[in-house]
Chain A
Amino acid sequence: MEKKFADLRSGIVIVLACALIYFWLIPAQIRYRGQAEIGPDFFPRLLVVCGGICGAIIAFQAAMKLKKAGKLTPKALLADPQARVNFKKYARHGIFLGSAILYMVAMQYIGFPAASVIYLAALLLFFGHSKPLVSLALSAVYVAVVYLVFTYAFKISFPKGFLGF
């Protein structure tokens, strides 16, 4: 039943997103002067309409199955833990993604090598390693290899920090 709740949620989110894109985002983000019958907003609008229809069908199918099982009442929806998204389960994912953005911002201030060594060591610990020194050593060697290969072999210029590299 958890899958059906997820489908219902997905379908509703898709329909709402499509409505938002159709009525707000497209007029706000695609501005053109001209009388073209098939303008630059033609294709995005077509996609959004098709997406909205698919989302509505997904939601409808899930709702019908839930109704059949007697789970489509406000009381059942509130009482059933399967109907809710367990955000706690995704705390690690949130931390990982948030730290990744911070890493990229930090890279521009302290440079690629320093930011990457610190971040990779922290990631190794986050993913399951337990020895900080081993993680730091592993991280330093790996980042050095990546940095040297990309800088000297592929001539990539990485962000430099106040340390000068």
Chain B
Amino acid sequence: MDILIESFMQFVSIQVILGIVAGVVVGIIGGGLPGISPSMCIALLLPISLYLPAPVAIGLMMGSYQGSMFGGSISAILINTPGTASAAATTIDGYQMALKGQSGKALLMALYASCAGGLIGTVILLAMAKPLSTIALKFGPPEYFGLMLLSLALIAGISGKSLLKGLVSGLLGLFLAVVGMDPILGTRRFTFKNINLADGLQTLSVFIGVFALSEILTQLSESRAQLYKKADPLSVVDNKLSFKEFWGQRMNILKSSIIGALIGVLPGIGGSTACFVAYAEAQRGSKHPEKFGTGILDGIAAPESANNAVAGGALVPLLTLGIPGDVVTAILVGALIAHGIKPGPLLFIEDIGSVYTIYIALFFAVISLFFIGKLGIPVFAKVVKLRKATLLPMIFIICVVGTYSNRSNIFDAMMMIGLGALGFILKKNRFPIAPLVISFVIGAQLEMSLRQSLILSDMSLAIFFTRPIALVLIVTSVVFCYFMVRRNMKAPPSAKEEN
């Protein structure tokens, strides 16, 4: 109880509150700008967070996570372009409401539903995290290997139509993680006698290069005239949402939030799937399903509450097992480790204060989102109008500064350029890049647990099948992989693209 109070008191400080507010603002703006994903937003904040005290940095990250999830709905509603993949379902009814001149009402519904979803997601995180961590304490190298294999199995979920391409991308991520010192014998690998590579590739160079720079390169394929074009929102944000209208959505929001949080717990599925599942469920359970798609509040409340609830759910495997369920949580792992917080079962024993800090930061991020969203909807709507020709070069400078500041080393920024080009080539050849990032994050741990297990068993693979937890994890990975592949094969073409 003392630790909880101590953790709570950390948030009664102006720096932490400013950190959360800044995170929410950056998240909403980033999420609102098409092409700037929540992961890119958090990756860009990562270098800044390294220079901040842990609670401020965690607040910044959580604020950005929640903010970007809501931010995606702004452009989805105003200009029919989802700012993030998670807001894709919001476009269906949101834009129709905007066409009717109800953009303000739609934005407020999105905000309230996002906040409610965020809170419900946090409650689910609180309920599930501790019991899971107790089981995870029994883990040795074979169990960790099983766990890492489960993380890799999620590649099947995010590979879209081609599992093979996802696998190649994942293997490339693991290969990039191999660069630098060997974790067991200390031998240098693929360093080309360059001292800058002795520590391996810097996480920031990989994240920013593969996500942000490859996106800039993709956008560069558009003509100069298209890049200079201004996005044109439809109408002024001026209409209100009554309490009765919001209250009428309570069951829809509750159900969608639970769907979102549970989907968030499952690694590799993510916000985009959650919002479509919640939308479909809301339509199925509605008394007037024929009205969906014509611009109704139900069609906004469901996806928006679901995608914000995903945030709480996605933190469950991250905190308890140390495995990132999606790209955003993969970047969060990097941020937490940089602050000396190592996610995993031991975190609940050795550093419960940090766990509480994360819970409280998530809670405060939702509260901040409510106030900032309410005050800022008219302002944020204007940012959506920024020209790509202005925005993209500025983002590039931040990419360079961000990667350079990590070690004050220009080599890292140059590596970021190379990795950006690699990300672009992969994208152009329709290789998904998310598996690369996830594999890069878990690469070192996967290799170490595999080699330790084999050394322990004198090179016998039986060690993975004679320990119950390891066996369960390996079997789960295979089953998970099978269902994900089946789901991808059955999904319609649009959903495959979404994946």
Q: Are B168 and A54 in contact (CB under 8 A)?
A: yes
Q: Which 5 pairs, one residue from A and one from B, show the smallest C-beta to C-beta distance?
A: A128-B389, A128-B228, A40-B182, A123-B393, A128-B224
Which stretch in B62-70, B133-141, B237-245, B407-415 binds the other chain? B407-415
| Most chain B CB within a 10 A radius of its CB, from A47, A138, A157 | A47
Q: Are A54 and B185 in contact (CB under 8 A)?
A: no
B175 within 8 A of A: yes
Q: How far is the CA of A110 from the CA of B185 in the complex (A)?
A: 42
Q: Are A129 and B389 in contact (CB under 8 A)?
A: yes
Q: Which residues in B have some Cβ–Cβ distance to A below 8 Å?
A: 48, 51, 164-165, 167-168, 171-172, 174-175, 178, 182, 184-185, 187-192, 217, 220-221, 224-228, 387-390, 392-394, 396-398, 400-401, 404-405, 408, 410, 413-414, 417, 420-421, 424, 429-431, 447, 450-451, 454-455, 459
* B residues in contact with A130, CB < 8 Å: 228
Q: Are A40 and B187 in contact (CB under 8 A)?
A: yes
Summarize B's interface: helix, strand, loop or mixed. helix
A165 within 8 A of B: no
Which stretch in A66-74, A76-84, A93-101 binds the other chain? A93-101
Q: How far is the CA of A119 from the CA of B396 in the complex (A)?
A: 11
Q: How far is the CA of A11 from the CA of B377 in the complex (A)?
A: 47
Q: How far is the CA of A54 from the CA of B392 in the complex (A)?
A: 35
Q: Are A54 and B167 in contact (CB under 8 A)?
A: yes
Q: Are A100 and B417 in contact (CB under 8 A)?
A: yes
Q: Are B396 and A123 in contact (CB under 8 A)?
A: yes
Q: Are B189 and A29 in contact (CB under 8 A)?
A: yes
> 20 A-B pairs, CB-CB below 8 angstroms?
A32-B182, A34-B185, A36-B185, A38-B455, A38-B459, A41-B189, A43-B451, A54-B167, A55-B168, A58-B164, A89-B221, A96-B217, A101-B414, A104-B417, A108-B410, A123-B393, A124-B393, A127-B220, A154-B405, A156-B404
* B residues in contact with A120, CB < 8 Å: 393-394, 397
| Most chain B CB within a 10 A radius of its CB, from A38, A39, A42 | A38
**Residue on B nearest A127 in the bound complex, by CB:** B389
How does the 8 Å CB contact mask read for A99-142 relative to B, with 1 for contact and 0 for none? 01101100110000000100110011011111000000010001
* A residues in contact with B182, CB < 8 Å: 30, 32, 40
Q: How far is the CA of A119 from the CA of B171 in the complex (A)?
A: 36
Q: Are B168 and A127 in contact (CB under 8 A)?
A: no
Contact size range, A? 35 or more
Q: How far is the CA of A96 from the CA of B395 in the complex (A)?
A: 14
A88 within 8 A of B: no
- Nearest CB of B to A90, in Å: 8
- Given A36-B185, A38-B454, A57-B164, the answer on whether A146 and B421 have CB atoms closer than 8 Å is no
- The residue from A50, A58, A126 contacting B165, defined by CB atoms under 8 A apart: A58
- Given A10-B431, A127-B392, A138-B390, the answer on whether A156 and B405 have CB atoms closer than 8 Å is yes
- Given A3-B430, A120-B394, the answer on whether A47 and B171 have CB atoms closer than 8 Å is yes
- Nearest CB of A to B14, in Å: 15
Additional A-B contact list (13), CB under 8 Å, known A55-B168, A128-B389: A34-B185, A40-B184, A44-B175, A47-B174, A51-B172, A89-B221, A100-B396, A103-B400, A127-B388, A127-B389, A128-B228, A155-B51, A158-B404
- The residue from B224, B421, B429 contacting A127, defined by CB atoms under 8 A apart: B224
- Given A96-B220, A120-B393, A138-B390, the answer on whether A104 and B168 have CB atoms closer than 8 Å is no
Q: How far is the CA of A94 from the CA of B447 in the complex (A)?
A: 35
**Residue on B nearest A43 in the bound complex, by CB:** B447
Q: How far is the CA of A88 from the CA of B30 in the complex (A)?
A: 32
* B residues in contact with A124, CB < 8 Å: 389-390, 393
